[in-house]
Amino acid sequence: MKDVIIKTKSIPAQPRSKNYPTGASVVRSSSGNTTIIPGSSGDSVDIVKEIDIKSLTDKNVLSSLRTLLEIRSRIIATDNTETELSEENTLSSLRALEEIDKSIKSVLQTVEKTYLNKTNPDSAQRVITFLEGLTSDGFVEANSGLIVRSSKKTTSLSNALIEDSNKDSISHDLIEEEENAENLSTSLLEVTTTGGTIGSLDNVGPQADTALIGSLLAKGSESWAPIAPVQSGLTDYEHMLIPVFHTIRQQWIFIPADRFGEVVPPVSSGFPYVLPLTLL
């Protein structure tokens, strides 16, 4: 039977022999010499296991499973909505990505409320000033009026028309003029719209909107005015009157239709049309 050589052994917390100090280690070398290594403390090491409820102190150590449990207990998972974020815990990788995603969305919402969108339709609640100019390839709409200023003295084009589709009139008063007229240039604005009436134009009399059917719009010295047809109620050819413009008198007059030869007879309700002819 072979001899068993003990190279190292530990002294228990309460050794039976007084020759060995408490907590010391005895090491035997190959030559047979014995070395006693004193321990740092006479107390034994207490291991805190996974399910132990002991308090953690400097006199005990955690087992490997308990160590993993303590680490995992301080990790805030994705589905953990109760634990508050603090300096004593950490986020899992998925929870960290989720928190980062929330922060990015919050920043994007702030940016969307603060800055104008370059690709989608957007609006602003305050006045926007373009210091170096503004260019538009499409339609520009000014609902409450338009102020045009120029640093150079230019000749104003009066009676510029601005049409508001929400009203029944076209007015040039929407172009505001300031005291310093030399720095203001007014341009003619052309707007295509389906609203408004011909009588609301500056150079057309308001009677044009209420004129009889068949009236002729004639240009006068200051504005255009309607000339109503003669509703005589007669149906015979000899009693028809036709309005013509007298170039010498510069006004419209009515002459019998038989002076112009054969014309289309009128309808039974009277002569509803006007014929613009000129006397030389």
Q: Over the stretch 40-83, which tens digit does the pLDDT of each residue have?
A: 555 566 788 877 777 878 878 888 888 888 788 888 888 888 88
Q: Over the stretch 228-280, which tens digit does the pLDDT of each residue have?
A: 776 555 556 566 667 666 667 777 777 776 665 544 444 444 433 445 544 43
Stated pTM of the model: 0.30
- What is the enclosing helix (H) or strand (E) of 75? strand 75-76
pLDDT of residue 21: 60
271 neighbors 229 (Cβ within 8 angstroms): yes
The SS3 call for residue 105 is helix
Q: Over the stretch 14-30, which tens digit does the pLDDT of each residue have?
A: 556 666 565 556 566 66
Specify the residue for token string 């107390």: 43
- What is the enclosing helix (H) or strand (E) of 72? helix 64-73
CB atoms under 10 Å from CB of 48, counted, come to: 18
Question: C-alpha 119: how far from its chain's center?
Answer: 10
Average pLDDT over residues 126-149: 83
Bigger pLDDT: 184 or 112? Answer: 112
